[in-house]
Amino acid sequence: MAQEVRGVVSREKDAPVAVETIVVPDPGPGEAVVRVQACGVCHTDLHYKQGGISDTYPFLLGHEAAGVVESVGAGVTEVEPGDFVVLNWRAVCGQCRACRRGRPWYCFDTHNAAQPMTLADGTPLSPALGIGAFAEKTLVAAGQCTKVDRRAAPAAAGLLGCGVMAGLGAALNTGGVGRGDTVAVIGCGGVGTAAVMGARLAGAARIIAVDIDQRKLDTAARLGATHTVDSRATDPVAAIQELTGGFGADVVIEAVGRPETYRQAFYARDLAGTVVLVGVPTPDMTLELPLLDVFGRGGALKSSWYGDCLPSRDFPMLIDLYLQDRLDLDAFVSETIALDEVEAAFERMHHGDVLRSVVLL
């Protein structure tokens, strides 16, 4: 029987979000209903609200979440009611050319729940990243549920569902940071700070955090950066080169998503070094680089989408590290809030006042 619950809905571009009654159907084949316990406020949700991702309003916002499986549909074997799960937006198909080649983290046919959730009047909702977790309960594809150790705090565990995984994976997976490497991270919001932590986990010898906000630089230093650069006062390319013997960093992670910071990342890497773009640009942005420099500097220019993660592999491992006090996910939780405080949390996030606000339910 369908259930009525509360959820945060964005009805039109740039309009304030509101808590409304939504209808969650019983799970169909391959689906699961999850009772949400915690959901982080991510920039992606703000982009949905602002119309930067699509115009298929109304949106049910929220996607960076953890909770407990309440019920499952026919054919679901990977999770069962009572499992504590982190939700992911990369439910791999297992059948596409990437999956068949043994590269499921590149899956080209990820899927979501087939049935829509709706407003009380029957209007279909578009769930953010196929999840819609600013809600007491949500309907997802069962493959979007990754079972993890239930001892983990929901507010911390849920952050692996998007931003923290994107940053950790940019360093660990896409960038391939290794022991003794030098790493620079440009942009130290939630994703960039997670990249700093990922570089530390990988054994990087020198981790240089770059930002224009001293508060973010202080946080990055506390969570693993060995050096910080205030790019308002200092040329970051020159500073990174000076801190790496004049060569540049082995891996530079760009966590802003702007042409000017990407150019900085490109020139701040060592010859044959790697640039990882994990910051999300807008559709109107373009980049111009001398092709001879692209050729002559060698190395690799990569994009990192969701940290090239495989949730079934990465989430349980990272939760284990968290429970061993080797990965401080709690440090990302700046505040916990209620469902009706999401609009105000967007403002605090926009002004850089928090790493993450997390809705507790």
Does the residue 320 lie in any domain?
no
Does the residue 207 lie in any domain?
yes
Same domain, 128 and 237: no
The Cβ of residue 30 has, within 10 Å, a number of other Cβ atoms equal to 18
Name the strands in the sheet holding 18-24, side by side, starting at the edge strand that comes first in the sequence. Answer: 118-119, 18-24, 3-10, 59-60, 126-127
Same domain, 7 and 75: yes
Query: Quick one: pLDDT at residue 52?
Result: 86
**SS3 for 36?**
strand
Same domain, 216 and 126: no
Q: 88 — phi, psi (to 5°)?
A: -130, 155
Take residue 88 and report the two structure tokens written for it.
Answer: 């992911």
Does the residue 309 lie in any domain?
no
Does the residue 239 lie in any domain?
yes
**Residue-level length of the chain:** 361
CATH number at residue 13: 3.90.180.10
CA distance 255 to 158: 20
Query: Quick one: pLDDT at residue 350?
Result: 87
Query: Quick one: pLDDT at residue 90?
Result: 86
Does the residue 23 lie in any domain?
yes
Query: Quick one: pLDDT at residue 298?
Result: 94
CA distance 98 to 296: 31
CA distance 143 to 160: 15
Does the residue 312 lie in any domain?
no
CA distance 266 to 289: 9
Angle subtended at Cα 188 by Cα 344 and Cα 314, rounded to the nearest 5 degrees: 95
Same domain, 210 and 99: no
Does the residue 275 lie in any domain?
yes
CA distance 186 to 76: 42
User: β-pairing, 18-24 with 31-40?
Assistant: unpaired
Same domain, 190 and 94: no
SS3 content of the chain, % helix, strand, coil (to 5): 35, 25, 40
Does the residue 315 lie in any domain?
no
Interacting residues of 139 by C-beta distance below 8 A, sequence separation 6+:
24, 25, 27, 31, 32, 33, 34, 113, 115, 117
Same domain, 39 and 88: yes
Same domain, 189 and 76: no
* 204 burial level (CB within 10 Å; 0-12, 13-18, 19+): buried
Structural domain containing residue 251: 167-304
Helix or strand run (H / E) with residue 218: helix 214-222
Q: 40 — phi, psi (to 5°)?
A: -75, 150
Query: Quick one: pLDDT at residue 267?
Result: 98
Specify whether the CB–CB gap between 167 and 276 falls below 8 A: no
| Block mean pLDDT (10 aa), the chain, length 361 | 96 96 98 98 93 93 98 97 96 94 93 96 97 98 97 98 97 98 97 98 98 96 98 97 98 97 98 96 92 96 96 97 97 97 94 94 96
CA distance 284 to 141: 32
Is the dihedral angle over the CA atoms 135, 317, 278, 328 positive or is it negative?
positive
Same domain, 179 and 265: yes
Same domain, 199 and 339: no
**SS3 for 351?**
coil
Same domain, 185 and 288: yes
| Structural domain count, the chain | 2
Same domain, 218 and 142: no
Same domain, 258 and 342: no
